[in-house]
Amino acid sequence: MNRQLIEDTFRQLQTEMSPVAGIQLDLSPAECERMLAVLERHDLEYDRKIRLLGVYIILTMAEQRHMDCIPNHPGLTRNILDGDYLYSFYLQFAVHCRELDLVAFLAPSIKKMQIRRSNGDFAAYNPAAGIDEFLLQESRQRSRTSKAI
């Protein structure tokens, strides 16, 4: 099932990503394992799993492109532009998929990570942990709402 989920997610991302950007989505299945483990812990519909895995893939690839920004590197400009495009594509994709609450939840941690990077702190960012935290919060909120009714 995980293989099918990954393939379906990449297929959806490819159809929504601008071909003009010229970006190949090349995250390996092994790099998706963190997020797959998160998705398995939550009771989610298959389409939502695709959306959330898509968000994870886009954010992970954006981070990788920006981490490859080394001064005087011949691909520096391309890596910056690709990373920036992927961050904007993440927003576009999440809004299209109606994951606005997720965007609002992740925004502070993504911005803090970007600020740290601009100051030379290149600690890894784990979007799977943020998405897991969001899903736990969402689940608790649904539980409270159903108990109140």
Reported as a single tens digit per residue, the pLDDT across 109-148 is: 999 988 888 787 777 789 999 999 999 999 998 877 655 5
- Based on DSSP, count helices (H) and strands (E) in the chain, helices before strands: 6, 0
Give, in degrees to the nearest 5, the angle at Cα 108 between 106 and 113.
95
Q: How far apart are CA 47 and CA 10, in angstroms?
A: 13
Q: What's the confidence (pLDDT) of residue 36? A: 97
Q: What's the confidence (pLDDT) of residue 76? A: 76
Q: What's the confidence (pLDDT) of residue 65? A: 84
Q: Which two structure tokens, joined as six digits, stand for 36?
A: 């797959």
Residue type, 53: L
Q: What's the confidence (pLDDT) of residue 125? A: 84
What residue segments make up the domains of the chain, in order of their start? 2-148
Q: What's the confidence (pLDDT) of residue 45? A: 97
Q: What's the confidence (pLDDT) of residue 69? A: 66
What's the average pLDDT block by block, 10 residues per block, for the chain (149 residues)? 91 93 87 95 96 97 79 75 93 96 96 85 86 95 67
Provide the 8-state DSSP code for 17: S
Stated pTM of the model: 0.90
What Rg, from alpha-carbon coordinates, does the chain have?
16
Q: What's the confidence (pLDDT) of residue 50? A: 97
120-123: long-range pairs with CB below 8 Å, 24+: 122/67
Q: What's the confidence (pLDDT) of residue 91? A: 96
Q: How far apart are CA 95 and CA 99, in angstroms?
A: 6
